[in-house]
Amino acid sequence: MTRFLLGGASAYHYWNIALESGGVIRWGCYQNSLVVVDPAMRTYEYTHEYYVLKHVSHAVAPGARLVSTLSYTGYENQLAFRNPDGLLVLVVQNDGGSDLPISILVGDQVVRPVLPADSLSTFVLEV
């Protein structure tokens, strides 16, 4: 999602909401989906894509604009949006195996959360 939005996309859509285990569509090629279904076991599982979309769509309002971010430490697993009401939404991923303390400078505010291992975190800030 980050690559497409930073590349200029104005919207992000998922083609497949749910696929059977293995992700092979009727045309015979593999694709990702938000939910993986096992019809034999009558179970389902949410994918990483589901959780990314959940974090972004929960806090980012229609009409929001992507805001560029800058990292002084090389940390790039983040997206920022400005909602029409002025709130700033940050969605940050820690794809590492241990908790990650970070510092976020927004205007004259510094936010210092600790991101849990293998997590997505969403911050909504008044700036």
What amino acid occupies position 33?
A: S
User: Would you say the C-alpha torsion 54, 59, 61, 65 has a positive or negative sign?
Assistant: negative
103 — pLDDT class (breaks 50, 70, 90) = confident
In whole angstroms, give the CA distance from residue 104 to residue 110: 5
Digit-coded pLDDT (tens) for 36-72: 999 999 999 999 889 989 988 999 999 999 998 887 7
CA distance 92 to 86: 19
Q: How far is CA 120 from CA 22, 27, 30, 42, 49, in A?
A: 24, 33, 25, 28, 11
